[in-house]
Structure 1
Amino acid sequence: MQNYTSSNTTVTGYLSRPLNEKILLVQVLVGIFLYVNSLMIFTFLKKEAFRTDTRYVLFAQTLFMDSFLMLLTDLALIGQYFQVPIPWVPCCVLCVIMGWLSVGTPLTLVAMCLERYVAICMPLRHADISSPNNRRRGLVVIWAVSMLIPMFTLVSFLSLAPPAFLLTYVVCSIEMMQLRTWVSTARQTLLLVYFALMCSAIVFTYIAILRAARTASSDSKKSTHKGLRTVILHTFQLLLCLSQFVCPFVEMAILRIDFMLFINVRYSNFIVFYIALRCLSPLIYGLRDEKFYVVLKRYASFAIATSS
């Protein structure tokens, strides 16, 4: 059984570390991708046709979630690097929101693939299935399902931690909320179950669209093959999400050995699985989609001309 992992460190007692090129690199990359995502969100909001199309709405949701998650994880990374302790209550809120967003992105990717399946394999029913009411219900389901694992982590933490424990300070990370080994194991098991279900949905979608591509007429083959390529790219994103789910296993093992090594490993995972992963959605939809790319290019050119 694992002991409480909290720290009684005070705010004035944290270890000060010099700013180095790794942290500066992260800030530059986060700034660039937040700017690109913000430009795409602005493009989505300014065009009514995008706001009423289910696939663009789902795309915009990934942009919102990825941007917010990137910002929060960057703040958490800076706090961990400089060993800045904060009270437990804001730490819990931060971890729950980050967990919520990190699960929400792959679920939205699955929804985007299913939307392409309906559009290609059931074109006559696409308008009815992708109606505004169904779209709102789908978004609510994504947000609700995404919240299950973070809520499990929060409830288990509050049930295990004594009241005085919440008054202490801690260098915030999701691992600090896992006060027992079984909590960590259960959380990772739930994440793997999520991924297995999402992979099953992706495989079903891919096979169905592949069959549709073989039987499609010459007029619809182009759009069918484009939808198939999009599903393949989403599958690649989902595989990266699997690696992101596996990362906590490695990080927890390293945390028990050396805390500073844990910080360095988490830094590398942040670069690969948060920044790199979160820049794929703009490339897949924002630049590959012809309609969105034309509008985005116009707003980007205007922004550059205004800044200069």
Structure 2
Amino acid sequence: MNFTPVESNVTGAVPSEVTLFTGIGRVMIIVCLGITINYINATMVHTFSKHHIFKVNPRFILFIHLVFNDMIQLTTSISISVLYYVFDTIHVYLCCLIILPGILTTQNTPLNLAFMAAECYVAVCIPLRYNNICTVNGTYIVIGIIWALSSLSVLPDVFILLATEPLEFFHTRIFCLRDTVFRSAYSVKKRDASHILFLVVVWLTLFYTYFRILFVAKAADADAKKARNTILLHGFQVLLCMTVYVQPLLIQVLTYAFRGQFKAIYFALYIINQILPRFVSSIVYGLRDKTFRKYFKKYLCTVNCHPKKISLTR
């Protein structure tokens, strides 16, 4: 997770009072957006847990895993942003504890989307074999594979950190970023290689499944067309996630094009690569699927309109 907090140590020509006011405003925007998205996602998880029809559907199992993954990732990134604003720098060991779940969940997202696209492909292109290929147990194995692959990408950074840095480093205060914690040249090269590998595999999967489904969709089947649109949304979400991987280059280009707007650039990139992908997750199935939407709206309305009733029933 190449997360960068909303503000930076770069000083501008703006007076300190304005900078402080702007910083508070940006943090409040991020916290409010994060709470809103996590509230919607938590309602989706609750909806999933209450109905057996979703628990036996591989599509919704993968979807709710993506939603839960997004909740962890969003909470982590917001925590780093708030900690930066309050304390500016934090100890390395604390930064590691916070940033590692964020890195893992960021790596999980494109892999989860690739498997969701593959599930759509099986459902549309080879429906007669769907029940044999896409099983509940198999789906949980896939989720385990996703976490294993992400861990294999991240754990070497931890081992390199422990092997190359002195013990005193973990008690120093730093600006909590992945590159300031895992600063070894080996970690940087490994990170770039794993990002390229993951994204190539994910994009090949998305392109293959999209064009195969597109061919089937020519038969004017409504389910096939819906699956095609779902793959497009997956592609859009992966495209947003990719901005995390190319963020250093984007920062260089944008700071050159918009001089003196360094903090605004960081804020805009945070919204694009941290907030928007989590919002897309909520609409791919949560709002587009009629069955899930029916139950989801019921719980969302109940929580908003009858809070006292819920507290009594619990």
Normalised by the size of structure 1, how large is the TM-score?
Answer: 0.85
- Which amino acid counterpart does residue 109 of structure 1 have in structure 2? L
**Aligned equivalent of 2:148, options 127, 132, 144:** 144
- Which amino acid counterpart does residue 297 of structure 1 have in structure 2? K
- Mapping for residues 97-176 of structure 1, pairs under 5 Å: 97-176=101-180
Is the alpha carbon distance of 1:150 and 1:108 closer, same or farther for their aligned partners in structure 2, counting shifts above 3 Å?
A: same
Distance between the aligned counterparts of 1:100 and 1:40, measured in 2?
Answer: 22
Does the aligned pair in 1 maintain the 2:90–2:176 contact within 8 Å?
Answer: yes
- Which amino acid counterpart does residue 296 of structure 1 have in structure 2? F
- Which amino acid counterpart does residue 178 of structure 1 have in structure 2? F
- Which amino acid counterpart does residue 174 of structure 1 have in structure 2? R
Does the aligned pair in 2 maintain the 1:96–1:154 contact within 8 Å?
Answer: no
Structure-2 residue corresponding to 1:209: 213
Structure-1 residue corresponding to 2:296: 296
Does the aligned pair in 2 maintain the 1:160–1:179 contact within 8 Å?
Answer: no
Structure-2 residue corresponding to 1:277: 277
Q: CA deviation at 1:169?
A: 2.7
Deviation string, structure 1 residues 188-224 (Cα, Å, up to 9, x no partner) = 232122101110011111121122223x4x6xx1111
- Which amino acid counterpart does residue 53 of structure 1 have in structure 2? N
- Mapping for residues 1-308 of structure 1, pairs under 5 Å: 20-214=24-218, 216=219, 221-250=221-250, 265-307=265-307
Distance between the aligned counterparts of 2:129 and 2:46, measured in 1?
Answer: 30
Identical-pair percentage: 26
Distance between the aligned counterparts of 1:180 and 1:304, measured in 2?
Answer: 49
- Which amino acid counterpart does residue 74 of structure 1 have in structure 2? I
- Which amino acid counterpart does residue 187 of structure 1 have in structure 2? R
Is the alpha carbon distance of 1:48 and 1:248 closer, same or farther for their aligned partners in structure 2, counting shifts above 3 Å?
A: farther
Unaligned runs of 5+ in 1: 1-16
Unaligned runs of 5+ in 2: 1-19, 309-314
- Which amino acid counterpart does residue 279 of structure 1 have in structure 2? F
Instruction: State which drifts further: 126-135 or 164-173.
Output: 164-173
Distance between the aligned counterparts of 1:95 and 1:50, measured in 2?
Answer: 32
- Which amino acid counterpart does residue 202 of structure 1 have in structure 2? L
- Which amino acid counterpart does residue 266 of structure 1 have in structure 2? Y
CA RMSD across the alignment:
2.4
Distance between the aligned counterparts of 2:87 and 2:273, measured in 1?
Answer: 22
